[in-house]
A and B are shown apart, each in its own frame.
Chain A
Amino acid sequence: VKRCLAAGWVLAAACNGPPAPDAAVCQDFIHRICIQPICSAVTSNIILTGDCETTLLARTGCSADSFTFTTPDRDRFLACRLPLLRAGDAPDTPPNCDDVQDVMTTCLDVVNFLNTPVADGGP
């Protein structure tokens, strides 16, 4: 019975919904790295002049529903987002700071995207 229930859970979990818009993906990324307490990897790599989430949404333009990825593209952004889900995929689950450090180290293009205001050549 346990095997059957486990199989059912696997099959049900394999289902998913439609692709989320680029803006929603970007907002989710920013929300996760800005969950308090903010990891030092964020403060040391990303320039924050006010509230983390507000600042970054405004700087990157992700708050607009019409936002689309250019550089880095959507696939690259999703790949860099994966370490942030290791601690849990619920939106309000704070990521491990080691995973955040991992993102900041390996995804310099994303760090650059987050540090570049949209008017200065952002997406």
Chain B
Amino acid sequence: VRRASAGLLALLCACSLVHEETRDERGALLRSFERDGAPVPGGVRARAQAKWPELTLSFTSFELCRHEQVNEYAQDHIIEKTAPSAGPELATGVSTSLVGLGLFLARGLLSNTPNTSYIDGGGNYGPSDRTVAAGWSYTLMILGVPALVMGTVTLLQTGEKVTTSKVEEIASARDAPCNEKPVDGRVELLPPEGGAGKAFPTHEGVLVLRDSDLRGAPLGKVTLDGKPVLLAESEAPVVERYLACVRALPAPEQAALADWPQERLEAAADTAHECELVSGSPAKELARALQAELERRPTGPPIPQGPRIASFDEAVAAYQPALHIGPRGDPPSRLAEPMLQSGTAVQLQGMLLERVEANIAIIDVQGVRVLVFLPPLSPWVANLDNGSRVEVVGVYQGRQRLGSTEGPLVRAVWARPGM
């Protein structure tokens, strides 16, 4: 028991820790290369083709193929082991062991006569000097040798180990639809506010809709077998123009136009102009009639500047915008929805980028460029500077192309600088 206790104590005394720290250091760029990742399931997309009175939607399923730009680097994986106690432990082990060994070897020089001046409780004399020296030598060696061994082992474990390997870093990745193939299923035309919509089956991936299929049922979302269908950005104007025809046609009686309010007349004229772009649409006559009615009426500012609208707040109160596009409101993608009706009152917050015409400004709304018609005679137009933040209340007029810029067009009722 005495020896076991001494051994355990020796181990406790000799106990030490090795601290391990791992770090990676990136080296030089070895090479750059491109690669294609494995395709992942994408979804269903549709292409649209309008030829009045039909709208042909072609549905294809697609996968997403990832194209990656990869940089390959050399990287050092460094494992650093330190043991702050190894040095003192080794020094203690060496000195203690040497003293113990010295005492053990020199014990023969000491007297072996017991200490007769003292008798212990068991009736024995005290140990001789040689016995005491031997006891101390055993003790010192029991403590010193493990410390010496542990210190040596610990010291051998310390150091730095460096492993160099190649690592890849994906500098950029681009997902693009691929592996497209026609897909059949049950197409549902859902209203924007939710609920059930009309359903149609496709044939060989194609669905041909007529104006009667869309009349009276505002289009919000299209699904195929319950899965949402993506409409390519380039396809959206096609659908939008076709929907404009659905709203504009059949043309109202010529005589009835005289009773229309100015605003409705202007919105209808815009819609008719948009519909004219659909192949085979009979909107030319309607557009001409609406234009004639507009020209017949006295000219003036397109947006009422009368006593009812005298401030931004009054414009908000009078028009009650359905959409509030801005940082704390609706996302600007709402302006790209094909089902958004022309004539919808909207409120925008963005930055006035430039004036491309005398009465057209481009406003950046969270990355989306919105064309805004600014009535030139309006007193508040002079307050709007390029590069400043503006807030606009206006009426959505559909998508328009102006030079190289295509985007939603909003006719401003009132605009003011700042937020």
Q: Which residues of A contact B (CB under 8 A)?
A: 1, 3-4, 7-8, 11-12, 14-20, 24-25, 28, 74, 78, 81-82, 85, 89-91
Contact = CB atoms under 8 A, between A and B. Distances in A.
Contact of A12 (B115, B118, B132): B132
Contacts of A81: 121
- A-B pairs with the 10 shortest C-beta distances? A17-B114, A17-B125, A8-B139, A12-B135, A15-B127, A11-B139, A15-B135, A16-B124, A20-B119, A78-B123
Contacts of B117: 91
Nearest to A16: B124
Contacts of B92: 1
A105 to B, nearest CB: 19
Contact of A20 (B124, B135, B143): B124
A12 B139 CA distance: 8
Interface string B1-37: 0100010011011000000000000000000000000
A17 B124 contact: yes
Contacts of A14: 2, 135
A16 B132 CA distance: 8
Q: Interface residues of A: mostly helix, strand, loop or mixed?
A: helix
B69 interface: no
A14 B9 CA distance: 16
Given A16-B124, A25-B119, A78-B121, 18 more contacts: A3-B9, A7-B143, A11-B6, A12-B135, A14-B135, A15-B131, A16-B122, A16-B127, A17-B124, A17-B126, A17-B128, A18-B125, A19-B125, A89-B118, A89-B121, A90-B118, A91-B118, A91-B119
Interface centre among A18, A82, A85, A91 (most CB of B within 10 A): A18
B139 A16 contact: no
Nearest to B140: A8
A85 B121 CA distance: 7
A8 B125 CA distance: 20
B121 A12 contact: no
A123 to B, nearest CB: 16
Q: How large is the interface on B (under 10, 10 to 19, 20 to 34, 35 or more residues)?
A: 20 to 34
14 contacts: A4-B96, A11-B2, A11-B6, A16-B122, A16-B124, A17-B124, A19-B124, A20-B116, A20-B125, A24-B119, A81-B121, A85-B120, A89-B121, A90-B118
Contacts of B131: 15-17
Contacts of A74: 123
B127 A8 contact: no
B380 interface: no
A11 B135 contact: yes
A88 to B, nearest CB: 11
Nearest to A85: B121
Interface string B130-155: 01101110111011000000000000
A105 B208 CA distance: 124
A82 B370 CA distance: 107
A16 B115 CA distance: 9
Contacts of B12: 3
A16 B134 CA distance: 12
B249 to A, nearest CB: 101
Given A3-B12, A4-B143, A11-B6, A19 B123 contact: yes
Given A24-B119, A91-B118, A16 B13 contact: no
B8 to A, nearest CB: 10
A109 B272 CA distance: 136
B9 A4 contact: yes
Contacts of B10: 7
A81 B124 CA distance: 13
